[in-house]
């Protein structure tokens, strides 16, 4: 299943992009994230980490690409041993009155469908000032 979501807000696009790039701040705008284990301070391509989800559930991830010029990045997230997971692509677009952030989620319907409202809410917080 593939779903693309978007949200707009009044936060400046450069600030929204930085919120994506600094994994330590993900939990401030994505309430489903309790914490992030990541070696760097800023996302880079071909790196891995772990998100601690609801109830501390570990979700491993790999960052595939980060494009600072187009403000897009892509990653995969999965439950242990790659048993089941999703591919996610994010983007940030500057608007005259703030930002539009979008997210495309690809994966099995039983994972994607329940994640849609959570992701939509998080996108809203990401774009808010």
Of the pLDDT bands very low, low, confident and very high (cuts 50, 70, 90), residue 83 is confident
Residue 8 has pLDDT above 90, yes or no: yes
Q: Please, where are the H alpha helices in the chain?
A: 13-21, 26-29, 109-127
Task: Give me the pLDDT at residue 56, please.
Answer: 81
pLDDT for the residue numbered 80 = 76
Q: What are φ and ψ of residue 120, in 5° steps? A: -60, -45
Measure CA of the first residue to CA of the last residue in the chain; give whole Å: 31
Q: Let me know the angle formed at the C-alpha of 116 by 104 and 70, rounded to the nearest 5 degrees.
A: 25
Q: What does the block give as tokens for 121?
A: 């809410």
pLDDT for res 74: 98
In which band, very low, low, confident or very high, does the pLDDT at 95 lie, cut at 50, 70 and 90? very high
* Residue 86 in tokens: 């999703």
Query: Residue 113 pLDDT > 80, yes or no?
Result: yes
27 three-state secondary structure: helix
How is the beta sheet containing 85-95 ordered, strand by strand? Answer: 2-9, 98-106, 85-95, 72-78, 58-67, 47-52, 35-38
- Which pLDDT value is given to residue 54? 81
Give the number of C-alpha atoms closer than 13 A to the C-alpha of residue 61, restricted to the C-beta side: 28
pLDDT digits (tens, 9 = 90+) for 24-76: 999 999 999 999 999 999 999 999 999 998 878 899 999 999 999 999 999 99
């Amino acid at each position: 299943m593939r779903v693309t979501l978007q949200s707009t807000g009044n936060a400046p696009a450069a600030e929204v992009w930085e919120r994506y790039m600094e994994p330590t701040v993900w939990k401030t705008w994505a309430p489903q994230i309790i914490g992030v284990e990541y070696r760097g301070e800023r996302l880079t391509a071909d790196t891995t980490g772990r998100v601690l989800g609801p109830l501390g559930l570990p979700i491993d991830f790999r960052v595939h690409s980060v494009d600072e010029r187009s403000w897009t990045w892509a990653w995969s997230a999965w439950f242990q041993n790659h048993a089941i997971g999703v591919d996610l692509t994010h983007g940030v677009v500057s608007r005259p009155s703030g930002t539009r952030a979008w997210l495309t989620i690809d994966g099995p319907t039983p994972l994607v469908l329940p994640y849609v409202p959570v992701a939509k809410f998080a996108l809203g917080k990401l774009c808010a000032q």
